[in-house]
Amino acid sequence: MSDQNDVQTIDQQIAALQAKKQELLNAKRKDALQDAKKIIRTFGFSASELGLGGASATRGERAAKYANPDNSAETWHGGKGPKPKWVREKLAQGRTLEDLLIR
């Protein structure tokens, strides 16, 4: 057998093994998904608890970095885009971003 035939034979064996590996992984994946669904139903997890729901999950929402000292429900992550109105108001009053940091 020539070297070229040996290489082709090895390539065919590799392809066959890769296909077999993918079949095994697909079967394992299917079983794992069934197990996960059972656990989700048993414990009643919501999509948001699993990190799957809403626009924020798809955008990768960041944790808040700043909070309004007068209303802790108003927070801001400090990223791109305009500052929220409450941040602009506090800065106009002489506060700094450092003053608004969540500690």
Instruction: Give the model confidence (pLDDT) of 18-71 as tens digits.
Output: 999 999 999 999 999 999 999 988 888 788 788 886 555 445 567 889 999 999
Give the C-alpha separation, 79 to 65, whole Å.
9
- 3-state SS, residue 3: helix
Q: Does 81 score more than 90 pLDDT? A: no
**Cα-only R_g, the chain:** 27
Higher pLDDT, 78 or 60: 78
